[in-house]
């Protein structure tokens, strides 16, 4: 019963956490979430918490890190918590794991990783000597943190470039609410706030994105630069918050003119996605740590909870993501540019044929002039030096089946996928008209040379 009350409080705390910080995920919010998880991990008892941190309880304003408190930030492989796990030995011809018995002539005993003689790894793990309420709270906290993570992520859309409308955005907000049947007890907001999120596609420069963001939001250049740099460093950035969905759609339309991905989701769900990132950091922090004299309970509990059934706590509106194939932005972009590349290739080959024909005509003229002079000796010397012959029709025809580098007159066996820039890319981004960036269908290919 005691653990059940802890579980209900933890679920309500996680559900209400975005409202406590007004949907703005800051460093303080991240640190507060870690403190909540650590307190529930220690059954909300100061004695257990002090034992967990080995008497090195973090000061106020300092981020809570169990690995830092236990001195495990570096060389965690060589701590007592690593006993019983595989280690790897490096030799000139490769790496050999010490637990791989077939690789050794005789048994190898590692002073750090080999389990003690009284421990048989093939049997069930030994019972922990930690208090039962502490063990139960460790399993409950880790399990509920993983359930919450999946509840949130299963509602996040995978395809970030679907057409956006006010109806689809509102529908996503409703479908992403947590279920009250799992003690989350979330009250719907009648007038929710939404966030416009900019994503990094690794195809645009920071300055290009900064100029477009500043222009779309009617903000100074430093605002656009800050958002572009945050996107470059962390993969995404919240550009604007507003309850006015049509206004966010207008901003998104301007930013998307440079073919960069923008999404609009509720501020609540955006905050919860950022919470999931902190939960992953917290799990990574505690994995190699110990609780009292038990050096394996945290690692084993995480493994056991990952193998348990997910306790569904949301509608999981996107739980089938990836079953029909992943959304590949690069593949779609290549498909869009295929007609443009085809036109460019046709024009290039037409110019190439014209160049060969002009050279052939010039060679004929030079050859006729040399014969009129009647200097047979000079003609023979010219032949010895390697006179340029007129390409045969078959050779000219073959040119159409391969690419040529016009700068070096060298044949290439593969097509070179050159980067396609937007029109007027030498101009300032704020001065380029929206119509130019919108992109028109490619012109029809020109007729081939006769």
Q: Averaged in consecutive runs of 10 residues, what is the pLDDT profile of the chain (450 residues)?
A: 86 94 95 96 91 80 86 60 58 58 66 55 61 94 96 89 90 90 80 95 90 95 95 94 96 94 96 97 93 89 95 87 61 59 68 78 64 54 49 45 42 39 43 45 63
Token look-up 């989350």 returns 184
Is 314 in contact with 179 (CB distance < 8 Å)? yes
Is 221 in contact with 233 (CB distance < 8 Å)? no
pLDDT of residue 92: 61
Query: From CA 403, how far away is CA 231, in angstroms rounded?
Result: 38
pLDDT of residue 450: 56
Q: Which two tokens stand for residue 400?
A: 């159409």
Packing angle between helix 132-153 and helix 27-41, nearest 10 degrees? 140
Query: b or e along 407-446 (b: 16 or more beta carbons within 10 Å of the residue's beta carbon)?
Result: eeeeeeeeeeeeeeebeeeeeebeebeeeebeeeeeeeee
pTM, whole model, 2 decimals? 0.67
Phi, psi (degrees; rounded to nearest 5) at 318? -125, 35
Phi, psi (degrees; rounded to nearest 5) at 242? -170, 155
Whose CA is closest to 114, among 128, 124, 127, 99? 99
SS3 of 214, please? helix
Query: From CA 247, how far away is CA 138, in angstroms rounded?
Result: 46
pLDDT of residue 60: 73
pLDDT of residue 293: 85
pLDDT of residue 444: 65
Q: Which two tokens stand for residue 199?
A: 């994503």
Whose CA is closest to 218, among 234, 240, 246? 240
Query: From CA 185, how far away is CA 179, in angstroms rounded?
Result: 7
CA dist list (Å): 82 to 124, 238, 364:
18, 40, 81
Residues facing residue 194 across a β-bridge = 242, 266
pLDDT of residue 188: 85
pLDDT of residue 331: 57
Termini Cα distance of the chain: 89
pLDDT of residue 339: 67
Query: From CA 234, how far away is CA 200, in angstroms rounded?
Result: 8
Provide the pairing of β-strand 94-97 with 88-91. Answer: antiparallel
Packing angle between helix 206-217 and helix 221-234, nearest 10 degrees? 130
pLDDT of residue 112: 59
Residues facing residue 262 across a β-bridge = 198
CA dist list (Å): 132 to 9, 18, 128, 292, 381:
19, 32, 9, 13, 101
CA dist list (Å): 135 to 42, 128, 266, 287:
9, 8, 37, 15
Query: From CA 391, how far away is CA 402, in angstroms rounded?
Result: 16
Whose CA is closest to 225, among 241, 239, 235? 239
Alpha helices in 321-422 (DSSP H): 329-373, 376-384, 393-399
Provide the pairing of β-strand 236-242 with 94-97. Answer: unpaired
DSSP symbol at 444: P
Residues facing residue 242 across a β-bridge = 194
Please, is 263 exposed, middle or buried when counting C-beta atoms within 10 Å of its C-beta (0-12, 13-18, 19+)? buried
Residues facing residue 443 across a β-bridge = none
């Amino acid at each position: 019963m005691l653990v059940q009350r802890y579980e209900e409080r933890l679920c309500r705390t996680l559900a209400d956490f975005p409202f406590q910080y007004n949907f703005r995920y800051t460093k303080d919010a991240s640190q507060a979430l870690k403190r909540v998880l650590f307190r529930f991990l220690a059954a909300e008892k100061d004695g257990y918490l002090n034992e967990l941190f080995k008497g090195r309880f973090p000061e106020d304003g300092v981020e809570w890190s169990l690995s830092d408190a236990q001195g495990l930030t570096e060389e965690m492989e060589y701590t007592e918590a690593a006993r019983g796990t595989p280690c790897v030995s490096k030799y000139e011809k490769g790496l050999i794991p010490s637990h791989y018995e077939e690789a050794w002539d005789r048994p190898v005993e590692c002073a750090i990783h080999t389990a003690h003689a009284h421990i048989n790894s093939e049997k069930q793990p030994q019972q922990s000597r930690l208090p039962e309420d502490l063990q139960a709270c460790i399993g409950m906290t880790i399990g509920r943190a993983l359930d919450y993570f999946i509840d949130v992520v299963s509602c996040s859309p995978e395809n970030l470039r679907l057409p956006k409308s006010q109806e689809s955005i509102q529908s996503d907000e409703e479908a992403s609410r947590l279920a009250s049947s799992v003690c989350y007890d979330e009250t719907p907001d009648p007038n929710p706030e939404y966030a416009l999120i900019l994503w990094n596609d690794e195809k645009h420069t920071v300055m290009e994105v900064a100029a477009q963001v500043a222009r779309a939001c009617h903000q100074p250049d430093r605002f656009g630069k800050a958002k572009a740099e945050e996107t470059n460093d962390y993969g995404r950035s919240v550009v604007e918050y507003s309850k006015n969905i049509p206004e966010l759609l207008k901003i998104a339309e301007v930013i998307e003119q440079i073919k960069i991905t923008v999404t609009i989701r509720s501020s609540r769900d955006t905050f919860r996605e950022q919470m999931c990132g902190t939960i992953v950091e917290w799990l990574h922090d505690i994995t190699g740590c110990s609780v009292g004299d038990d050096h394996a309970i945290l690692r084993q509990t995480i493994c056991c909870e990952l193998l348990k059934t997910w306790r569904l706590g949301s509608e999981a509106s996107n739980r089938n993501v990836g079953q029909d194939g992943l959304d590949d932005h690069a593949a779609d972009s290549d498909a869009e540019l295929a007609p443009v590349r085809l036109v460019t290739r046709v024009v290039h080959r037409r110019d190439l044929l014209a160049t060969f024909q002009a050279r052939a005509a010039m060679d004929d003229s030079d050859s006729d002039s040399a014969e009129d002079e009647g200097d047979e000796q000079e003609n023979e010397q010219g032949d010895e030096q390697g006179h340029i012959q007129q390409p045969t029709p078959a050779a000219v025809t073959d040119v159409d089946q391969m690419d040529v580098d016009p700068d070096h007159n060298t044949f290439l066996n593969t097509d070179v996928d050159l980067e396609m820039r937007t029109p007027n890319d030498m101009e300032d981004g704020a001065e380029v008209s929206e119509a130019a960036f919108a992109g028109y269908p490619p012109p029809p290919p020109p007729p081939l040379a006769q």
